[in-house]
Structure 1
Amino acid sequence: MITRRTHVTLLAASLLLTGCGGGAVAGTAGMPTPSPEPSRTTPSPEMSVEAAPQQIPGLGPKTWAKIPAGTRQAVVVTGRGRDSSASTVVLYERTAAGWQAGASWPAHNALKGWSDHHLAGDLRSPVGVYTLTDAGGLLKDPGTKLPYDRGAGFTSPGTGFEGEPLAGSFDYVIAINYNRQPGTSPLDWTRPLGAGRGGGIWLHVDHGGPTHGCVSIAEKHMKVLLRTLDPELRPVVVMGDAKSLAG
C-alpha cells in the first residue's frame, strides 16, 4: 500500500523530470454567434464607442471549436514561434458586450516550443484548449475560488535550463487539464492517456527561463490569475504558438 508520504516523495522526484505538475482536453462547441449589425446608418454617441469583439483575436475556427460554449474566462497563451520558449499571456472574460481583454503578461513555455502531440520528456508544451479546475502551491491560498491544495509537495529545488534557481516556482500553481484527472490536487499523478503522453503541465511562477512543458508568469500575475479565475465561469487555457492558434 502506497502511503501519502511515499506518494509525495515519488511525485517530487517526477516533478524534477517534468518541471511541472498536470488533465483532460476541454470539450468542443460551436463558435459564438456575432451580434447583429445596427440598423441605423447615422452615427450616434453609443455607436461611436468601440464594442468588445465577439471572438478573441488571433484564434482561428479550429481553435474556437474546442472552447466550450459555456466558457466565460479564457487564459490565452500565445507563443512567439513554434520552437520558441517565449510567449504572452492574456486573460479574457466574456461579457454581454463581448470578450474583454485584460493586461498582457510576458511568459515562458517549454524549452523547445510547442507540440500538437506532447510526449513525456519532449521539452515542448502541448497545443490545445484545456479546462482549469484545480490550484495549489507551497504558500497559503492567496484568495482563489478554485480548490487549493497547499503542501510541501510543491517544493521546487535545483536549477533551470539557464542556471536559474527553481526555488519558488511552485509557490502558486494552476493545473492545466492535459492528461490529468480534473477535480484532484495538481499533485495527483493520474495520467488518463498514459505516462508516455506526459503530464504535470501547470501554470506557475516564472523562474526566469524556459520550462519543461508548463507556462510560467511572474508571481504577482499568478496571484491576479488565481484571484480572478472563477469555476462558475468555466475557465479554460488556450495555448500554443500563434500560427497554431490561428488555425
Structure 2
Amino acid sequence: MLFASPVRSTAAVAAVALSSFWTSSSFLQFVAADADAELDALDDETASPEPSSDGSALVLTDATFKATVDKGEPVFVKFYAPWCGHCKSMAPAWEALAAESPIAVAKVDATVERETATLMKIRGFPTLYLFANGNQMYAYNGPRTKDPMLEFANGGYLSASPKNVPWNETFMDRAQEHVLEYFQKVGQIMAFEPTILPLAFMLGAIVSAALCICLCSSAPPMPVPVSKKEVKAE
C-alpha cells in the first residue's frame, strides 16, 4: 500500500486553500465592483437636474425628489394626477416650458409617489412649486400657459413670497400655516352660508346674557351697611 508523502499532502492542501482564497477574493471583488456600479447609477439618478436634451420634463420620484431639491439649483415642479382634467389640459404647455426654460422643469405623479405628495402636503391638482437655494419654494398660481410660466421661471418667482420647504420648516412656519388654514375654513363657511357666522355670534351673546342673569339672581343679597348715626339714634 502506497502512502502519500506528508510534504506533498501539505502542499496539496495549501494549494487548494490558496486557490479557494483567490476564488473568494475574486468573487468579493466582483461583488464590490457591482455595488460600486449601482452606487454610481444612484448618484447619477440623484444628481443636479439638467434640462432634458429632448425638451421633455424630468420625472421625479420618491427616491429622487428631495435629493434634487437639496442640490440647491432651481427646479420648477408640477405635482399632478393622471386622472385630473386640469392636469391633462396643461400638459402640452408644461412640456413646451421644459423645452424653453433656462432651469430644470420636472413633474411628480402624486398618485404614485405618495411619500413625496404627503411630504409636500399636496391637496389639489395641479400644484406648481419652484424650488431654489435648497430650502425655499415659491408657489405658482398664475395662468397655466407657457409664457406666464416661463416668465416665472426666468426670475419672476423672486417677486413672490418664499416658504421654507417642509423638511426645513420652523415653528413659526407651522403656526402661520395653521392660522391660514383656519381662516380659509372660515371663509369657506361664510361663502357657503353667509348667515351661519352672525347667527353663531348672536347665539353666543344670548347664552352669555342668560348665564349672567342666572348667576346674578342666584347670588345672596349683599348686607346694607348701617351708619354710626343711625345706631346712636336707636
TM-score tier, shorter chain, comes to under 0.3
**TM superposition score normalised by structure 2:** 0.22
Higher helix share: 2
Could you say which structure has the larger radius of gyration? 2
**TM superposition score normalised by structure 1:** 0.21
- Higher relative contact order (Cα pairs below 8 Å, separated by 6+ residues): 1
